[in-house]
A and B are shown apart, each in its own frame.
Chain A
Amino acid sequence: MIPVCRIEDLPEGESLRVEAGDATVAIAVFHTDGAFYAIDDTCSHQDASLSDGWLEGCYVECPLHAALFDLRSGEPTCLPARKPVRTHAVTVVDGMLYVHPAVRTVPGEPVHAAPEEAVA
């Protein structure tokens, strides 16, 4: 489990990038539509950082080629991306945001990232 930040430090519509403990994978954390989401930061299509992407509701648009990913499932909703990115569980404990890096995601069975506390 990786501590990300205090929830007040990630306002609605914002995102940030964290590196998993072994730094082999970067994770993008988003605050949108009143919830926190975490997905792999690197676009499944080409080398681009999704934490730099454009947020619209539960979707993020890759800043390089405008592929759209559903933050809830990691699934791309349009080309050029065809492969999903992994989703990671997010929890809030005492106002602190944590990401739990997924060991692996079974294709077609995305791990859902729902916050334990509703954040207005």
Chain B
Amino acid sequence: MTTARTLTTVTVVGASLAGLHAARGLRSLGYDGRLVVVGEERHRPYDRPPLSKEFLTGDGDPGEGPGRLALTDPEEEAELDAEWLLGVRAEALDTAAGEIRLTGGRALRTDGVVIATGATPRTLPLPRLDGVHTLRTLDDATRLRAALRAGAARVVVIGAGFIGAEVASSCAALGLDVTVVEAAPLPLVPQLGEEMARVCAGLHARGGATLLCGTGVAGLRGSVRVTGVELTDGRVLPADVVVVGVGVRPVTGWLEGSGLALEDGVRCDEGCVTALPNVVAVGDVARLAQPGTARTVRAEHWTSGMLQGAVAARNLLAGATVEPFEALPYFWSDQYGARIQYAGRRASGDTVRIVEGAPADGGGFLAVYERGGISTAALGVDRPRPFMRLRRELARAPQPAGR
């Protein structure tokens, strides 16, 4: 490949939030060469967060395409002036030849690459039966939405992470009988710490769903259609629909043999740049170095995906890392009528202090995580205004060493 300073073709592999924002970033920084966007899905870029929430519960016909979830409109697409290869998979990257091989063997010559292939749901070693779903794409959500409205009465959600909880909440809102099965003794402990995880786990009961923790899934009942879920503790939960929400894994299979470092994601420096200055990675698939530490971080947050695109585009055009990605991690989750918001970099062992409200009352509250007297993160439930104030303070404040 040629040096990044003379890029004539940049290919963005992945046509979702992060890839789109990288494409936008390239254009807004003045890149006027050929821009190709490859997307495995047949849809133009759309917003995924609503898929587990209002898309499932909303009235009316969601239609065929992204509709209201579209991230672009025709006017903006015309401005982007990109070639969209949708419904096309990238199968391999040959960095020496400067080529991406696509489905069907077609080769795409390119001298700059943005890897934005995202992540795909993890699966369990279970038989393939009708009625068993995962949720990542618009097509997944369309199938699940139809299944939930086709006379299903009992839903079992496997995994009580944010996606599992949001799907369970949506099912409860649709009036279905919902049980959530979580292998860990308590969900969300890695994200929120034990104390706050316990509070958030209480939302399931508040919303009318049953949460079963500390038990795995042994198998499924049913021959063609699923009829139940067998737990490792011997119980069997009757089910018309099963949703598996046990996390995601980054989509890097197509990069095997490319020479790029792959370790649960595409290894990058702090500016989304890989070992090759003309190959960058953004979004769920990117594993960024954390300056000053030996650690790397792969974030599956919507906001990171959106913001990394601009940083990666700038570094790609500069031919070197001139800007690090330093945004404070942030995520939110809407479940059972509550809005959870988290920002910061908590670590195991940080203490947590309630600064507003009282979790015990079942209402909203605001909590601050601290280490050595320094705030490291904030968690809000139905406290959008004060949470935002804390989020801004955290973004400005120095973090404890090594965060």
Contacts and interface: CB of A to CB of B under 8 A. Distances in A.
A83 B159 CA distance: 36
Interface string A45-71: 011110011100000010111100000
B389 A46 contact: no
A79 B21 CA distance: 10
Interface residues of B, number: 21
Chain B binding surface, main DSSP class: helix
Contact of A48 (B76, B303, B384): B384
Contact of B306 (A46, A49, A61, A80): A80
A52 B388 CA distance: 9
Chain A binding surface, main DSSP class: loop
Interface string B58-83: 00000000000000010010000000
Contacts, number: 34
B384 A52 contact: yes
B368 to A, nearest CB: 17
B388 A46 contact: no
Contacts of A80: 306
Nearest to B309: A79
A9 to B, nearest CB: 17
Contacts of B341: 64
Interface stretch (B7-15, B46-54, B133-141): B46-54
B49 A53 contact: no
A32 to B, nearest CB: 14
B387 A63 contact: yes
A82 interface: yes
B386 to A, nearest CB: 10
B392 interface: yes
Most chain B beta-carbon neighbours within 10 Å: one of A48, A49, A52: A52
Contact of A63 (B47, B73, B306, B388): B388
A48 B341 CA distance: 12
Given A65-B303, A80-B306, A53 B388 contact: yes
B388 A82 contact: no
Interface of A: 46-49, 52-54, 61, 63-66, 79-80, 82
Given A47-B334, A53-B385, A63-B384, 19 more contacts: A46-B47, A46-B49, A46-B50, A49-B384, A52-B384, A54-B385, A54-B389, A63-B385, A63-B387, A64-B332, A64-B339, A64-B341, A64-B384, A65-B302, A65-B303, A79-B21, A79-B24, A80-B306, A82-B76
